[in-house]
Amino acid sequence: MPQQLPREDLKELLDIALREYEWLRREIDQRIVARSQLINFIGAMAVLASAVGTILLTGGKQGLSGIFIGGIGAFFVLAVVYWRTSNKSIIRLGAYLQGLEGKINILTVELYGEVTVEWETRREDVRQQSPKWLIKIAGRVLALYRRGRLAHPTDFKHIGRP
């Protein structure tokens, strides 16, 4: 049986865990905003590219338009790679937050008898219950779903499980 810590120490651990949880939630929010800005930028670039491509094609500069379209294609490939990498980092943060929720809940159950945070845990349960295999495969390709176990916070040494 784990050794029980004094109530004041448990409250301090809870405060630290909640601050870490808040900081990581903010990190996810910032990454989502950055990803959204990238999508808006890609849309603007697509409009600009189509206008410039049309001007080049109608102006008889097919050679230049091919180089231009190739450059735009490379830009879009890089943007998709960035978007996918961003999704993967958000998923990794979510997995870590899920573990942190477990730690926070251990403390809140110990201190107050209640589970308090469970957003990431519930959200992952919903993702894993997706009924369509095609949706799961597409989600994994686009880095919207996890592939196996990711990093989690370490377990408490002196506190039991709820």
pLDDT (tens digit per residue) in 84-100: 888 888 888 888 898 89
- Residue 1: CB atoms within 10 Å: 4
Distance of alpha carbon 63 from alpha carbon 52, whole angstroms: 13
Q: Provide mean pLDDT across the span 33-48.
A: 83
Residue 1 has pLDDT above 60, yes or no: no
Distance of alpha carbon 37 from alpha carbon 60, whole angstroms: 35
Return the pLDDT at 104: 94
- C-beta separation of 106 from 162 below 8 A: yes
pLDDT (tens digit per residue) in 104-131: 999 999 899 999 998 888 877 776 676 6
Q: Read off the pTM.
A: 0.71
Residue 148 has pLDDT above 80, yes or no: no
Q: pLDDT category, 36, cuts 50, 70, 90?
A: confident
Return the pLDDT at 81: 83
The letter for the amino acid at 66 is G
Residue 162 has pLDDT above 70, yes or no: no
Q: Which residue has the higher pLDDT, 62 or 45?
A: 45
Distance of alpha carbon 42 from alpha carbon 24, whole angstroms: 27
Nearest to 22 by CA among 119, 110, 114, 145: 119
